[in-house]
């Protein structure tokens, strides 16, 4: 049976690159009717960040890619000590200053065929330095704990970033020292920023939770992440999670590093926003802006939602667009703008039926007379130079409020 794992360390909140690795593991497991395992690797106690462990679970829960089994390494210390002692007894390891070190045999070559690109990778033992497997505080290092757990948890494939390639010879040595079969290794190419350097915070290497809070939908984030290094050989770019599971295969993972493109994520998110039903779109809005929208009627909210849904890249942009028609914004007009505002006021007062066509007619008349363009009128009425279609927005806002705002700006 296929059994894969992700092994995050709670030394920080995983960024989107780490979460991409989790997604690939999940898809590979589900495609092969296998198990997806979460293992919290918290043996570096001094570097643990408060809240990081909880964030790992929150990310998986938000994306709806739940683990089938969960383990925490700090609960398994006796297991690692037992296995370190085995290596000491067999003189494959030695003690120094209270720590247990692994001996490096020489000469020896460590070789494996990586599942990504089917390439053979080799390291001479002379390139591997002696390394600690059990620290003096009784906690194992990553190398020992990872190998012991992968064996005992019957991990069939280790799918991780290619920054771990240099550690693989150490792991192969441990497998051989215990007389265990090694799993299949699959090292994913690192994600690059748009300047072709390793993805970092300046490129957008934030947590999935950060993107969620900025108004990105989980469906868009999953779709975006799966394309960071995977391509099934078609031009298709929009995949549901069920479609991903159905066709995901490690052979379709590229050997070259993908580039993180925030513009593509924005585009993809806008597609998923437009695909939402009106009910689901309003639900997203209400969940995110319940406090800000508490005084907005259902009718007005529905009308603003219809106007905005096809015009935004993130859910958060919705409130920025409707904010001028919900809040009393503090902005001032200059002398010329006040003169134009009075003309608008006179024209709007004469509108009998408050309709978009009538409002636009008055606006065009004022723009022609004053030789100005729509951004000027937008600024006079909202304090901004652009946004949702102004006549339609003013219909929703209402004649009384529009007149009141213009009177306030033209005392």
Report domain extents, the chain. Answer: 3-73+191-263, 76-188, 277-320, 335-409
- pLDDT (0 to 100) of residue 232: 93
Length of the chain: 411
Q: Does residue 411 carry a pLDDT above 80?
A: no
Task: Provide the phi-psi class of 383: left if phi over 0, else alpha when psi is between -120 and 50, else beta.
Answer: left
The domain covering 76-188 belongs, at the CATH homologous superfamily level, to HUPs (3.40.50.620)
pLDDT tens sequence across 89-103: 999 999 999 999 999
- pLDDT (0 to 100) of residue 328: 83
- pLDDT (0 to 100) of residue 165: 96
How distant, in Å, are the alpha carbons of 58, 124, 177, 181 from that of 91? Answer: 43, 21, 10, 20
Q: Does residue 310 carry a pLDDT above 70?
A: yes
Q: Are 70 and 38 in contact (CB under 8 A)?
A: yes
Q: Tokens for 2?
A: 């296929």
pLDDT tens sequence across 193-207: 888 888 877 776 799
**Which SS3 state, helix, strand or coil, does residue 295 take?**
coil
What average pLDDT does this structure show over 245-255? 97
- Which residues does 120 contact at the CB level (< 8 Å), separation at least 6? 111, 112, 113, 114
What average pLDDT does this structure show over 354-368? 97
From 168, 160, 164, 167, select the one nearest 112 (Cα to Cα): 168
Q: Tokens for 328?
A: 């009393």
Q: What is the CATH number of domain 335-409?
A: 1.10.10.350
Alpha-carbon distance of 190 to 201, in angstroms, equals 14
Sign of the alpha-carbon dihedral angle for 315, 320, 326, 327: positive
How distant, in Å, are the alpha carbons of 89, 272, 355 from that of 208? Answer: 45, 16, 43
358 is a catalytic site residue: no
What average pLDDT does this structure show over 149-164? 97
pLDDT tens sequence across 112-131: 999 999 999 999 999 998 99
- Which residues does 168 contact at the CB level (< 8 Å), separation at least 6? 110, 112, 121, 123, 185, 187
Q: Tokens for 207?
A: 């947590």
- What percentage of the chain has pLDDT greater than the value 70? 100
- pLDDT (0 to 100) of residue 106: 83
Q: Does residue 245 carry a pLDDT above 80?
A: yes
What average pLDDT does this structure show over 29-44? 97
Which stretches within 12-76 are classed as H helix?
16-31, 52-63
Do domains 3-73+191-263 and 76-188 share one topology? The answer is yes
What average pLDDT does this structure show over 41-61? 95
- pLDDT (0 to 100) of residue 279: 96
Of the listed 30, 82, 135, 201, which one is catalytic? 201
Model pTM score: 0.93
What average pLDDT does this structure show over 372-394? 95
Which CATH code of 3.40.50.620, 3.40.50.2000, 3.40.50.2300, 2.70.98.40 fits the domain covering 3-73+191-263?
3.40.50.620
Cis ω on the peptide bond leading into residue 107 (within 30° of 0)? yes
- pLDDT (0 to 100) of residue 204: 67
Alpha-carbon distance of 340 to 52, in angstroms, equals 55
From 171, 129, 144, 151, select the one nearest 41 (Cα to Cα): 144
């Amino acid at each position: 049976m296929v059994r894969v794992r992700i092994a995050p360390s709670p030394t920080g909140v995983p960024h989107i690159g780490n979460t991409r690795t989790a997604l690939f593991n999940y898809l590979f497991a589900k495609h092969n009717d296998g198990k997806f395992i979460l293992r919290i690797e918290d043996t570096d106690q001094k570097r643990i960040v408060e809240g990081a462990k909880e964030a790992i679970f929150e990310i998986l829960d938000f994306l709806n890619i739940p683990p089938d089994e969960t383990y925490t390494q700090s609960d398994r210390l006796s297991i690692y000590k037992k296995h370190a002692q085995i290596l000491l007894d067999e003189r494959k390891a030695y003690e120094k200053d209270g720590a247990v070190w692994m001996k490096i045999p020489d000469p020896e070559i460590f070789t494996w065929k990586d599942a990504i690109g089917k390439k053979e990778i080799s390291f001479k033992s002379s390139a591997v330095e002696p390394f600690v497997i059990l620290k003096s505080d009784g906690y194992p290092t990553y190398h020992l704990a990872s190998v012991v757990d992968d064996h005992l948890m019957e991990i069939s494939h280790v799918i991780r970033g290619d920054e771990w390639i240099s550690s693989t010879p150490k792991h192969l040595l441990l497998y051989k020292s215990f007389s265990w079969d090694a799993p299949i290794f699959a090292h994913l190419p690192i994600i690059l920023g748009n300047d072709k350097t390793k993805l970092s915070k300046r490129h957008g290497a934030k947590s999935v939770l950060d993107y969620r809070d900025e108004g990105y939908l989980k469906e868009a984030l999953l779709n975006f992440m799966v394309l960071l290094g995977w391509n099934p050989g078609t031009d298709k770019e929009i995949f549901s999670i069920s479609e991903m599971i159905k066709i995901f295969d490690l052979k379709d993972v590229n050997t070259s590093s993908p580039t993180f493109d925030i513009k593509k994520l924005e585009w993809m998110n806008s597609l998923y926003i437009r695909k939402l039903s009106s009910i689901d779109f309003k639900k997203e809005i209400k969940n995110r802006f319940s406090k800000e929208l508490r005084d907005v009627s259902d009718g007005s909210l529905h009308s603003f939602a219809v106007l905005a849904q096809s015009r935004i890249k993130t859910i958060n942009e919705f409130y920025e667009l409707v904010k001028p028609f919900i809040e009393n914004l503090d902005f001032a007009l200059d002398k010329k703008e006040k003169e134009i505002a009075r003309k608008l006021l006179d024209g709007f007062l004469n509108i009998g039926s408050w309709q978009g066509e009538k409002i636009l007619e008055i606006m065009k008349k004022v723009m022609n007379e004053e030789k100005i363009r729509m951004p000027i009128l937008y600024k006079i009425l909202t304090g901004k130079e652009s946004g949702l279609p102004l006549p339609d927005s003013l219909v929703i806002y209402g004649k009384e409020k529009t007149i009141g705002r213009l009177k306030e700006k033209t005392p």
